[in-house]
Chain A
Amino acid sequence: MRYLSRKLGFYLVALWAALTLNFLIPRMMPGDPVEIMLAKLGQKGPVTPESREAIEAMLGTDSSRPLWAQYGDYLAGLANGDLGVSLVFFPAPVSSIIAQTLPWTIGLIGLATIISFLTGVGLGTLAGWKRGSWMDNLIPVTTMFQSVPYFWLALILLFLLGSVWPVFPLNGGYDVYNVTPGWNGPFLASVVYYGTLPALTIILSSIGGWMLGMRNMMVSTLSDDYMVTAEAKGLRSRRIMMRYAARNAVLPSISGFAISLGFVVAGSIITEAVFSYPGIGSALLQAVGGNDYALMQGILLIITLSVLGANLLVDLLYSVIDPRIRARG
């Protein structure tokens, strides 16, 4: 329980830091984002006083209100869930843009990352178990993929599998002409078809890291004392591998998984740019391109919160599988 309350305390601090960072960035940057936004919004249509207020609360007003009062307005605005109006997607509110795009990102990136983690850890287990086998020699190859910049790999795969041998579609999240979004078979099939290549590039570029990390931990674990005990006990080697070696070796990979989530999000922005995928990363880039500061800040906030939430989940899972951590706190 001490572990749990410590962790929750930490995430509260992190949440506060993230909110504050989000508050400070637009106010510390050169230029006047509110002016620019409001001017452009005015060209597109009438701006209601409420959305004006929401934007001012998010990005800072040039009025003489002191910073701490602005901070109060900002937090109050967040509590209402009002993130202002988007400029690029005028007149849609920022929150609805996020609600539309977030599922795509979580679906694609989340699934690809989990698949990559599980396969990488599985292959790493085997490579560490049978050191010096062909599996072990696969590792330098997969780490090569990691040193190649991700977008370069993605672009080349897209060029090869999209243009040269058109096996996969070039861009998008589903076939916009022939299917209607919803819980129907053709749409879901189309989503899977369109998502395969992006997912493949993510898996290819990240699997090597999981594999190498797991392999090295396996090798370290194999020389621990309790491994000899397990062997002397006459257990079957499958059981020793899974229950004694892999079970213990996977722990650092899992805490590494939490840390890597931030990078996964970062990678997702580039993935979505390469494949014009309709996720939150593409929305962020469009916001950046159109000086849509309200949308930008809103997305940054959501991304940060999602990563924090995912980290918390992994931490809780970790405490379930490593009994020592619960005591240590």
Chain B
Amino acid sequence: MAAADTVTVNLAVPRRRPTLPPMTGKLATGLIIAGLITLFGLIGPLLVQDPAKIDDIGLTPPSADHLLGTTQTGQDVLAQLAYATRGSLIVGAVVGLLTLILSGFFGIVGAYAGGWLDEAFSLFTNVVLVIPGLPVVIVISAYVAERSLLLVALVLAITSWAGSARVLRGSTLSLRSRDYVLASRVAGERRWRILLVEILPNLIPLLASQVVFAVIFAILGEAGLSYLGLGATESFTWGTMLYYAQNGLALRLGAWWWFVPPGLMLALFGAALSLINFSIDEIINPKLRNQTRGARRGWRMSREQIRRAKESTL
């Protein structure tokens, strides 16, 4: 609607360049937690004992030998947690990467090219979007007896990229009709160059937030699949740990050291990524930024003044 009202091409409109998110408390907390967990997943497995080694001591609470206790079959929980962290992060990373590629391809390229390609890509995206993913994943998993971590990640990615593609398509369409992009077109810049130089940089915050979402979704989705006994076979993830804990009646036996750590890791990692996404959101949507407390602190108004101002307006 607004686009139709502006008829003239205004060459002076400044380009909006992505800025780094301001280092707020939220963002810092998110980055630190996510960083520590990633570090644990990277070097943890090098430091711990064999996670699958069975010991006849059975279910034991935390001790000096086993910092997080042992499972029913005497396996070291800390060792399992280290490998599980690595496994879950691999699933998250693979799905994040695949989502980036798939949604970028179907969302950005289609929308930028326009015409029948856009129609076809958007139709495909929307069809994938309305067909519920998890039941399909469950059914596929049921047919395949041996499931590697990569297979699970692949199936999760295939069923989850469409939402991001749709969001990206919307933004690309609106960017495509921005004045400075039209101006570069008039100036005869090459189409792929316009895509890379003018459009892609503006999509980076949105891409980042979509990838973060995909990673959260993948890790939680994998955990859900594992809980149903349909996760990766023969590998450790937070989800499979919880599955074994559930099967070993850890909850009933009060073996908190078995089921709390993987659940907590999941929750912490998910929360950390959500915090990061909040900060990215504030870049994507400047209207939100003006409402944060940070912005208000920048005003030279006392609380009393703000309170009085609120009385007379919304």
Contact with A along B252-263 (1 / 0, CB 8 A): 100000000001
If A152-B263, A219-B287, A223-B290 touch, does A284 touch B138 (CB 8 Å cutoff)?
yes
Shortest distance between the CB of B162 and any CB in chain A (Å): 9
Tell me if A51 counts as interface (CB < 8 A to partner B).
no
Kindly name the residue among A147, A163, A300 whose own CB sees the greatest number of chain B CB atoms within 10 A. A147
Contacts of A259 in B (CB 8 A): 129-130, 163
Residue of B at shortest CB range from A148?
B267
Q: How many A-B residue pairs have CB under 8 A?
A: 159
Tell me if A253 counts as interface (CB < 8 A to partner B).
no
Shortest distance between the CB of A164 and any CB in chain B (Å): 10
- Among B224, B228, B263, B290, the residue within 8 A (CB) of A148 is B263
- Among A17, A149, A291, A324, the residue within 8 A (CB) of B223 is A149
Contact with A along B233-250 (1 / 0, CB 8 A): 000000100100010000
- Among B123, B220, B242, B290, the residue within 8 A (CB) of A13 is B123
Give the distance in Å from the alpha carbon of A216 to the alpha carbon of B290 in the complex.
12
If A144-B271, A219-B287, A240-B314 touch, does A266 touch B263 (CB 8 Å cutoff)?
no
Tell me if B127 counts as interface (CB < 8 A to partner A).
yes
- Name the segment of A23-31, A109-117, A118-126, A176-184 touching the other chain: A23-31
Give the distance in Å from the alpha carbon of A261 to the alpha carbon of B134 in the complex.
12
Give the distance in Å from the alpha carbon of A303 to the alpha carbon of B135 in the complex.
8
Contacts of A303 in B (CB 8 A): 132, 135
Give the distance in Å from the alpha carbon of A262 to the alpha carbon of B126 in the complex.
12
Contacts of B123 in A (CB 8 A): 10, 13
Contacts of A163 in B (CB 8 A): 252
- Name the segment of B71-79, B94-102, B139-147, B181-189 touching the other chain: B139-147
Give the distance in Å from the alpha carbon of A223 to the alpha carbon of B295 in the complex.
15
Tell me if B285 counts as interface (CB < 8 A to partner A).
yes
Tell me if B198 counts as interface (CB < 8 A to partner A).
no
Contact with B along A203-235 (1 / 0, CB 8 A): 000000000000010011011000100010000
Give the distance in Å from the alpha carbon of A18 to the alpha carbon of B132 in the complex.
10
Contacts of A21 in B (CB 8 A): 131, 136
Tell me if B16 counts as interface (CB < 8 A to partner A).
no
- B135–A29 contact, CB under 8 A? no
Shortest distance between the CB of A179 and any CB in chain B (Å): 28
- Among A219, A269, A287, A311, the residue within 8 A (CB) of B130 is A311
Contacts of B62 in A (CB 8 A): none
Give the distance in Å from the alpha carbon of A146 to the alpha carbon of B217 in the complex.
10
Tell me if B121 counts as interface (CB < 8 A to partner A).
no
Contacts of B145 in A (CB 8 A): 31
Give the distance in Å from the alpha carbon of A222 to the alpha carbon of B246 in the complex.
47
Contacts of B224 in A (CB 8 A): 149-151, 266, 270
If A149-B223, A266-B135 touch, does A222 touch B266 (CB 8 Å cutoff)?
no
Give the distance in Å from the alpha carbon of A287 to the alpha carbon of B139 in the complex.
10
If A14-B127, A148-B270, A296-B139 touch, does A223 touch B287 (CB 8 Å cutoff)?
yes
A residues within 8 Å of B by Cβ?
10, 13-14, 17-18, 21, 25-26, 29-31, 33, 131-132, 143-144, 146-152, 155-156, 159, 163, 216, 219-220, 222-223, 227, 231, 237, 240, 258-259, 261-263, 265-266, 269-270, 273, 284-285, 287-288, 291, 293, 296-297, 299-300, 303-304, 307-308, 311, 324
List of 3 A-B pairs having minimum Cβ-Cβ separation, nearest first: A147-B270, A266-B134, A29-B143
